Amino acid sequence: GTATDVWSLGVIAYVLLFGEFPYKPLERTSTAMKAAILAGTPAPTFAPKASLSAGELQHTPAALAFVHALLRRDKTARPTAAAALQLEWVAPGVSGQQQGAPSLRPTLHAAKRAGAFDLPGRKDQRPSGMDIALASLQAQHHGPVAGPAHPDAAVGNEAGMFSLVGTADKMQPESVLETAVGELLLGASPSAAPVSNAADSWASPQSRLRRPARATEQQGKVRCPLR
């Protein structure tokens, strides 16, 4: 449901802002990850990965409040997609206007090392609705990319999300991420058409398994089947 999609989007924003997953069990297996999500421990730090320079990665209060809201464990306290669009970080007239927003380059590379952008075993190479939406955003900020869109562009490989939110030093990367998140929320709103299922990479603690979990021992990535 929408509450699960909002949680999943919060996880995506968390990974891009902080360079790691919200829940990090000591044992990087799907079973351990599910248990950590259910127990809520270790709890998310809402801070950049320890190996990164925290002094250079102080995110805006609006960004932190946004991720906190989307990752509320009680789904009834979590904002709807429409309500999330009114939060300061992505609200019309506010998004994209912040000056001096921190670069996401370090956290993007950290997230890539953590396996956040890998799709093991993906066989369907057709571009999804998410691929098309992010390709459109990329074109707005960088101009169109020659050749066919790579199907993995939506999950942040160097041809896709890296180009969208981190590779141009002159950009305000956090503000660009605001735009991408806003587009995803519009797709999750009840009045809008669904924007694929790419934002469902992590389910909420209250959700149930809708498809088989896709996790690897090395990456610790999982769809949580817990309600």
139 phi and psi, to 5 degrees? Answer: -65, -35
Tell me the per-residue pLDDT of 195-213, one tens digit each, with 9 for 90 and over. Answer: 333 333 343 444 333 333 3
Centre a 10 Å sphere on the Cβ of residue 94 and count the other Cβ atoms it contains. 15
Tokens matching residue 140: 């707005």
State the DSSP code for 101: P
Least confidently predicted of 15-19, 84-88, 103-107, 138-142: 138-142
Could you tell me the CA-to-CA distances from 94 to 87, 151, 172 in Å, in that order? 9, 31, 14
Q: Rounded distance, CA 80 to CA 21, Å?
A: 22
| Radius of gyration of the CA atoms of the chain, in A | 16
Q: Rounded distance, CA 1 to CA 178, Å?
A: 23
Predicted local distance difference test score (pLDDT) of residue 227:
32
Exposure pattern of 4-39 as b/e (b: 16+ CB <10 Å)? Answer: bbbbbbbbbbbbbbbbbbbbbbeebebebbbbbbee
Tell me the per-residue pLDDT of 91-143, one tens digit each, with 9 for 90 and over. Answer: 766 544 455 566 677 777 777 777 666 665 555 666 666 667 767 766 776 56
Predicted local distance difference test score (pLDDT) of residue 136:
76
Q: Which residue has the higher pLDDT, 123 or 225?
A: 123
Predicted local distance difference test score (pLDDT) of residue 53:
61
Tokens matching residue 220: 């610790």
Residue 180: which residues within 8 A CB-CB, separation 6 or more?
134, 137, 164, 165
Predicted local distance difference test score (pLDDT) of residue 79:
93
Q: Rounded distance, CA 54 to CA 187, Å?
A: 33
Question: Is it true that the peptide bond before 42 is cis, omega within 30 degrees of 0?
Answer: yes
Q: Quick one: how many helices (H) and strands (E) in the chain? A: 8, 0
Question: Which of 87, 122, 97, 101 minimizes the C-alpha distance to 216?
Answer: 122
Band the pLDDT of 78: cuts 50, 70, 90.
very high
Band the pLDDT of 44: cuts 50, 70, 90.
very high
CATH topology classification for 2-200: Transferase(Phosphotransferase); domain 1 (1.10.510)
Q: Where are the domains of the chain?
A: 2-200
Least confidently predicted of 20-29, 47-56, 59-68: 47-56
Tell me the per-residue pLDDT of 95-106, one tens digit each, with 9 for 90 and over. Answer: 444 555 666 777
Would you say 141 and 160 are in contact if contact means Cβ atoms under 8 Å apart?
Answer: no
